[in-house]
């Protein structure tokens, strides 16, 4: 007996907690007959426990102790609802009557009431119960104040650390009732002893708020009646009998026939300080995990599943269990959007457990909660309303493995009650989405996030020496990049501002992991601008600002320093260059919210109806940057706000960009004319929010040619065929022009291949020069003539003109083979795998720009980066003398053009070559 209760006693200090220590055994009544001894009624109890997270402790008396399970959502009389029940340590028999407060700082701190009690009768007798308990399948009848009838506890076979996960299931009998008809937890609150709801009062949250959220979830069509802040703890229920069959995809508003995209850029949520007051909003849990997009293609043995992070990194090798579960879904082709998490002992996401699972290769511990469906079975659903997409999504999981894949349910629309419950339960917060929102890549006000605590990512710029018994390091020095106006993310380099330090929250495992990562990134000077001064008593080590730490903190001080920061996790899915101070916005009203705005980092699908903010949002610009001048005329285009500064580093104004295009048009138009083009637009300046536009919008760009029907399911593609079209694009805030690898006249037959050489920023430029020459050499060996241009950013582009004989898939496969061959031959210099980790010390040969719909910065296009570099065609003989990818800028490129005696690409138009079987054979044989 003592041994069974040892784990219980080790976790508690009985001189400080009112919980019973457990010193007596249960005895049969004195007048019981010998044959009846040991056969007294077995006690059962459910205690409502308001610890850090609300849960219900289900306990059965067996062999002298209370066998115990933590049930995060409590029991349900609906046999189709399978409640998660996490097996915990045995409790003493005296615990069955315990009610009271466990003091703060002690194990299980919080309020406990006896929610139900009675007796239980094992099916088949006591011996059968012992056997069933060991085997993981225990059937019994309950005779309690609230629960009656047949029940089962079934071990699911999956473990989180040392704690087994079981399922509590109601048997189908006369006591069973549907969740819609009866919710016992909501409808019978309080203690069976005195009716008190002390757990809720102690934590400052009313019982009716909890029940209200539950009832709102009940009303959502076909959703779990308990789909509130603990919704993720449920195994999927048989929804097919309650949810309407979704309409055929061909009948879904906004759905368009289209091939499966190679990539989908995720929609992101905007942080707000309060729920919107108006509009039709739906709320889901904000999961504490890694955002994942899953691409499913092919059938049978040819099926391929790819799992990608929000930054486009392929994490499929890390998530093999999810890959296999996704491959088993009954779909032909799909893109799914969700969050990968690991559920802790209370059935709620635990980010540390997720990192541990990824670090140890235990992908079978990871669950993917899926909340959106951008594409399904031949239909692009990104222009369909959110409600329509989710109606198609939910039935996909009826037969899915709940340990791997789950649908993220709607919690209802009572944002105030839901966020209160979420915070009380210890969750990170909520995600709100407009019911009619289209799926738009990048950050959008149509998706919002409400956080329970101040928590965000910071760039690590240094660390201090450890003191005392601490090893590894003392504290981390934190920074954020200088935000653009209104807190929007910037593109390109921006100053890293010191915002404080964090010295708590690290366990031994994280100290051991992080210390060597910091040491290998050490540098001589501070990365902060300006560097912190005179605050540290221990030696400071500066590091390259490439690592990202997620921290919780109490508040921002008036001078921009975080107080009482605690380390949460090392984030490997977010680039340091994008980390800025998160500023909660007040939610916009229903009339002003435009959910089609995309983000600065967008390289995915374009918004369908993005407004030009040059005039409409002028009031949002800082006064010093707001143009007030009268319009100018350039060519046939009227330039409004001509004095607006687009780039503060170079001082380039809107009128300067219009004149630039007017001047370089004879050089730029050969690469642009007739070729579909995508636009990067800056309604304010390049330090503010940028928009990526691929299709025609309501507000037409002057003189730009439209090509309807070339991109099925979307608006017309665009091409820029004249100098006035170039100037018109500048008038509408366009900075960058990106061209397809095909002409509009023959869109399915590409006429060039592009290899974008993307280097690790730490590499010297001479390495880039050598890389370009090596790529050219291989292409020469294959018999292909190539041309070179600077990217205007970090690298060089190698361009191969081809005749229009190959399709998109054939061309992309060939470019992949070239890239993989080079990377295989020179693995120390090149990689063909995307992502900073693979690119460290190497150059990534980006062949992905050769797919249908992909694009590359056009020749002579300006870049939306500080200094406004220009992508400039150069002769191969000039490559060794180049100094960088942005060697020429909007201010200097005219000097180069004036000095040229001939066009470096004069032979481009006359080059006739095609991909041949012999070339493929040579690549395969190498």
Ranges 6-10, 489-493, 727-731: which has the least confidence: 489-493
Maximal C-alpha separation, the chain: 115
Q: Which residues contact 559 (CB under 8 A, 6 or more apart)?
A: none
Q: Which residues contact 157 (CB under 8 A, 6 or more apart)?
A: 136
Query: Could you report the per-residue pLDDT of 100-111, keeping only the tens digit for each?
Result: 888 876 778 888
Query: Could you report the per-residue pLDDT of 620-672, keeping only the tens digit for each?
Result: 323 333 333 446 788 888 898 888 889 888 888 999 999 999 999 999 999 89
Q: Which residue has the tokens 């739906």?
A: 282
Query: Could you report the per-residue pLDDT of 512-532, keeping only the tens digit for each?
Result: 899 999 999 999 999 998 888
User: Do 25 and 1 touch, CB atoms closer than 8 A?
Assistant: yes
3-state SS of 188-215 is CCCCCCCCCCHHHHHCCCCHHHHHHHHH
CB atoms within 10 A of CB 809: 12
User: Do 431 and 415 touch, CB atoms closer than 8 A?
Assistant: no
- CA-wise closest residue to 52 among 347, 367, 366: 347
Residues in the chain: 926
**Whole-number Å distance between alpha carbons of 626 and 624:** 6
User: Do 363 and 340 touch, CB atoms closer than 8 A?
Assistant: no
- CA-wise closest residue to 88 among 74, 71, 113, 101: 71
Q: In this structure, what token pair is assigned to residue 810?
A: 């054939």
Q: Which residue has the tokens 């984030």?
A: 571
Q: Given a cut of 70, is residue 803 above it in pLDDT?
A: yes
Query: Could you report the per-residue pLDDT of 555-592, keeping only the tens digit for each?
Result: 777 678 887 788 888 988 778 888 888 876 555 433 33
Q: How far is CA 812 from CA 179, 375, 577, 800, in A?
A: 52, 22, 30, 13
The pLDDT mean for the chain works out to: 81
- Enumerate domains of the chain plus CATH numbers: 2-28+38-204 (no CATH), 239-451 (3.30.470.30), 455-574 (2.40.50.140), 613-739 (3.90.920.10), 752-925 (3.90.920.10)
Ranges 13-17, 105-109, 423-427: which has the least confidence: 423-427
DSSP result, 401-457: -TTTEEE-----S-HHHHHHHHHHHT--EEEEEETT----SEEEEEEEEEESS-EEE
Ranges 72-76, 186-190, 383-387, 756-760: which has the least confidence: 186-190
**Whole-number Å distance between alpha carbons of 868 and 892:** 10
- CA-wise closest residue to 731 among 762, 687, 777, 700: 700
Q: At what angle do helices 654-672 and 723-731 cross, to 10 degrees?
A: 140
Q: At what angle do helices 917-925 and 765-782 cross, to 10 degrees?
A: 120
| H-assigned helices in 270-363 | 320-327, 351-360
Catalytic residue list = 286
Ranges 60-74, 721-735, 836-850, 874-888: which has the least confidence: 836-850
Find the mean pLDDT for residues 488-511.
75
Q: What is the pLDDT of residue 596?
A: 30
């Amino acid at each position: 007996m003592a041994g069974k209760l040892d784990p219980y006693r080790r976790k508690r200090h009985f001189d400080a907690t009112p919980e019973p220590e457990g010193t007596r055994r249960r005895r049969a009544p004195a007048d019981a007959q010998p044959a009846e001894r040991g056969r007294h009624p077995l006690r059962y109890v459910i205690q409502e426990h308001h610890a850090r997270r609300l849960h219900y402790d289900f306990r059965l008396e067996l062999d002298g102790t209370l066998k115990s399970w933590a049930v995060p959502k409590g029991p349900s009389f609906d046999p189709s609802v399978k409640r998660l029940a996490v097996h915990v340590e045995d409790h003493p028999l005296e615990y069955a009557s315990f009610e009271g407060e466990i003091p703060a700082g002690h194990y299980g701190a919080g309020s406990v009431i006896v929610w139900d009690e009675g007796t239980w009768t094992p099916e088949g007798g006591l011996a059968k119960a012992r056997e069933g308990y060991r085997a993981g399948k225990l059937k019994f009848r309950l005779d309690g104040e609230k629960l009656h009838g047949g029940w089962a506890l079934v071990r699911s076979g999956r473990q989180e650390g040392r704690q087994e996960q079981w399922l509590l299931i109601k048997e189908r009998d006369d006591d069973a009732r549907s969740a819609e008809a009866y919710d016992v937890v909501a409808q019978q609150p309080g203690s069976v002893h005195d009716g008190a709801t002390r757990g809720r009062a102690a934590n400052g949250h009313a019982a009716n708020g909890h029940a209200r959220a539950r009832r709102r979830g009940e009303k959502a069509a076909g959703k779990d009646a308990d789909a509130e802040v603990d919704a993720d703890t449920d195994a999927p229920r048989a929804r097919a009998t309650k949810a309407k069959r979704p309409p055929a995809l061909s009948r879904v508003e906004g759905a368009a026939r289209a091939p499966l995209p190679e990539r989908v850029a995720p929609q992101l949520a905007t942080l707000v300080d309060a729920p919107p007051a108006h509009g039709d909003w739906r709320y889901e849990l904000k999961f504490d995990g890694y955002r994942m997009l899953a691409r499913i293609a092919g059938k049978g043995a040819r099926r391929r599943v790819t799992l990608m992070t929000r930054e486009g990194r392929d994490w499929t090798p890390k998530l093999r269990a999810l890959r296999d579960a996704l491959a088993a879904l009954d779909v032909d082709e799909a893109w799914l959007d969700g969050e990968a998490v690991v559920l802790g002992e209370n059935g709620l996401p635990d980010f540390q457990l997720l990192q541990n699972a990824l670090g140890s290769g235990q992908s079978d511990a990871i669950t993917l909660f899926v909340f959106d469906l951008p594409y399904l079975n031949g239909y692009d659903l990104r222009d369909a309303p959110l409600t329509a997409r989710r109606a198609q999504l939910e039935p996909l999981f009826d037969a899915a493995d709940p340990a791997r894949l789950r649908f993220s349910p709607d919690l209802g629309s009572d944002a105030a009650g839901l966020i209160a419950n979420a915070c009380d339960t210890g969750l990170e917060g909520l995600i709100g989405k407009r019911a009619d929102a289209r799926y738009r890549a990048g950050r959008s006000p149509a998706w919002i996030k409400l956080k329970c605590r101040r928590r965000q990512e910071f760039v690590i710029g240094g660390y201090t020496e450890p003191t005392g018994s601490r090893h590894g390091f003392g504290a981390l020095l934190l920074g954020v990049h200088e935000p653009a106006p209104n807190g929007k993310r910037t593109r390109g380099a921006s100053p890293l501002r010191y915002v404080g330090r964090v010295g708590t929250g690290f366990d031994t495992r994280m100290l051991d992991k992080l210390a060597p990562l910091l040491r290998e990134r050490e540098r001589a000077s501070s990365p902060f601008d300006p560097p912190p001064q005179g605050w540290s008593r221990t030696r400071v080590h500066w590091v390259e600002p490439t690592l990202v730490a997620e921290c919780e903190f109490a508040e921002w001080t008036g001078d921009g320093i975080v107080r009482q920061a605690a380390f949460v996790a090392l984030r490997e899915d977010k680039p340091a260059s994008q980390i800025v101070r998160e500023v909660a916005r007040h939610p916009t009203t229903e009339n002003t919210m435009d959910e089609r705005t995309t983000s600065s980092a967008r390289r995915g699908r374009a918004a369908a109806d993005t407004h030009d903010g040059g005039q409409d949002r002028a009031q949002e610009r800082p006064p010093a940057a707001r143009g007030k001048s009268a319009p100018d005329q350039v060519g046939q285009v009227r330039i409004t706000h001509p004095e607006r500064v687009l780039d503060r580093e170079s001082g380039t104004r809107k009128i300067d960009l219009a004149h630039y295009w007017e001047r370089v048009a004879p050089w730029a138009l050969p690469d642009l004319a007739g070729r579909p083009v995508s636009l990067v637009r800056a309604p304010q300046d390049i330090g503010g929010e940028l928009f990526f536009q691929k299709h025609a919008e309501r507000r037409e760009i002057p003189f730009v040619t439209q090509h309807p029907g070339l991109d099925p399911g979307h608006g017309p593609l665009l091409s820029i065929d004249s100098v006035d079209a170039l100037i018109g694009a500048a008038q509408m805030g366009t900075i960058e022009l990106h061209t397809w690898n095909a002409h509009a006249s023959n869109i399915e037959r590409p006429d060039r291949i592009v290899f974008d050489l993307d280097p690790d920023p730490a590499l010297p430029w001479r390495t880039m020069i050598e890389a370009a020459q090596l790529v050219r050499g291989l292409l020469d060996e294959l018999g292909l003539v190539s041309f070179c241009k600077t990217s205007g950013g970090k690298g060089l582009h190698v361009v191969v003109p081809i005749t229009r004989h190959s399709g998109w898939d054939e061309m992309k496969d060939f470019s992949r083979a070239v890239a993989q061959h080079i990377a295989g031959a020179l693995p120390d210099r090149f990689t063909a795998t995307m992502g900073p980790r693979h690119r460290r010390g190497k150059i990534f040969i980006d062949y992905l720009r050769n797919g249908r719909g992909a694009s590359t910065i056009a020749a002579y296009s300006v870049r939306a980066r500080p200094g406004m570099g220009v992508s400039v065609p150069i002769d191969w003989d000039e490559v060794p003398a180049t100094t960088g990818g942005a060697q020429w800028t909007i201010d200097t490129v005219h000097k180069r053009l004036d000095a040229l005696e001939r066009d470096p690409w004069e032979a481009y138009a006359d080059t006739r070559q095609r991909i041949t079987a012999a070339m493929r054979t040579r690549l395969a044989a190498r």
